[in-house]
Amino acid sequence: MPETSAPTTSIKKILPLILATAIFMQMLDSTILNTSLPSIAKDLKESPLNMQNAIISYVLTLAVFMPASGFLADRFGTKKVFIFSLILFSIGSLFCALSQNLTHLVISRVIQGIGGSLMTPVGKLALIKTFDKNELLKAMNFAIIPALIGPVLGPLVGGYMVDFLSWHWIFLINIPIGILGIALGAKFMPNYKSDDVDFDLKGFIIFAAASLLLSVSLELFGNIQNTTPILLVFILGFLFLYYYYKHAKRDGNPIFPLNLFQVRTFRVGILGNLATRLGISSIPLLLPLMIQIAYKQSAVTSGWIVAPMALTAIFGKSSVIKILNKYGYRKTLMINTFIIGTLICLLAIPDIHSSLYWFVPIIAILGFFNSIQFTSMNTISIADLRNFQTSSGNSLLSVNQQLAIGFGIAFGLIVLKLFESTDIVHGEIHNAFRLTFLTVGILTIISGLVFRRLHISDGKNMKSEE
């Protein structure tokens, strides 16, 4: 039951902005560190290889605590949990900037991670509960843009901050954004609660263990030569998922009820997110990597080549409602996934002697269609959930997206390493990247078949005023 009265017009105007602020902070923080690690390592007198712990600790904390976000929001209220998460994230950011050694930094990243694990899912849950189904597409469409521009701007902003200021600023930048979010949240965030709350501790521990094991293996796949132990951790993660499935069948009130998967649009949305992000998530990592390794360009140059993706994502936002209203979710997602896969394949065309500027139009168009993809997948996943399913369904969708991004990055790196070690590339690292783009692009095209499971009429209740 909501603790607040019916949402006012001002709440409906500001709430998407509050969620956008939270998503932007989390997405920026997940990527901004990558270009700054060598500088931080030098300052903290650590090996750059050990600095990976600062990234992994954050990702693993997200994996462990995200499953509990729905329960905590139902128990304590969306407003209280959201503001608490922003305070934790901001304090964690301040501690990161003040860190004197790697241990301090890792502990600070864990504090940040706990805040981040609640911030976005709880903000999204408040949005779902505030807007009617026919208004939700427009609201979610606005809030989702930072998820598209964060991974692209992160390395670029990080590169400039390290070059012209110091690495401390990549964390300090979160504090004013966090304070703005807290102020807006205190005034405009509704405090939805549920009276019927029973925490499935055993289910949470099992699912958190599965999520943790899968995240550990995905983070380490691309960085360790001997993949056998990592593969065992990966398989163990899936065994824990199966154990959770058995538990959820027996338990009367599991943290993620299995009846969520009886909702076809939710089932297709979850599977579609996993399948299509295999390709989409690897590009913001692989392309800058190729520009730096094969073309011998700087991190800032590679950042600028990828930056148009963020700009065109904003233009995609203004078109997605018209497209979905005209063609429906099934046709839009199938065709859009095909276009994205084809564009990823096109990244394989320029050879080592081609100008870097050949990548700019491909990346720009890719940003536009990515915007349509993410808004469509996110909204169809929750289109048919009942009120009592929204908290658990939204939490599971957030965990799934986090893992899907990890799967995409790990998959891209594994394919690259496989091609790098074969004779087909003739020792040319650039050719290994080109073959990786082709492989990832073709698999993305095939993943569009997942959306054939949607009916033509699916998502009609989400149709929005333009």
Helix and strand counts by DSSP (H, E) for the chain:
19, 0
The pLDDT value given to residue 464: 56
Mean pLDDT of 313-323: 80
Contact (CB, 8 A) for 330 and 387 = no
Per-residue pLDDT reduced to its tens digit, 39-58: 777 777 776 656 667 777 78
Average pLDDT over residues 50-76: 79
pTM, rounded to two decimals: 0.80
Say whether pLDDT at 171 is over 60.
Answer: yes
For the chain, percent of residues with pLDDT exceeding 90: 10
DSSP string, 198-237: ---HHHHHHHHHHHHHHHHHHHHHTT-S--HHHHHHHHHH
Q: Per-residue confidence at 305, pLDDT binned at 50, 70, 90?
A: confident
pLDDT in tens, 179-215: 888 888 888 888 888 776 677 778 888 888 888 888 7
The 10 Å CB-count burial string (b at 16+, else e) for 257-292 is beebeebebbebbbbbbbbbbbbbbbbbbbbbbbbb
| 137 close to 12: Cβ distance less than 8 angstroms | no
Give just the sign of the alpha carbon dihedral 292, 297, 300, 305: negative
Q: Which residue would you say has higher pLDDT here, 97 or 39?
A: 97
Beta bridge partners of 192: 2
pLDDT by residue (tens digit) across 335-378? 999 999 999 999 988 887 778 888 889 988 998 898 888 888 88
Question: What integer pLDDT is reported at residue 446 of this predicted model?
Answer: 92
The 3-state DSSP class for residue 4 equals coil
Return the pLDDT at 1. Answer: 41
Q: Mind listing the pLDDT tens digit for each residue in 363-374?
A: 889 988 988 888
In whole angstroms, give the CA distance from residue 189 to residue 192: 9
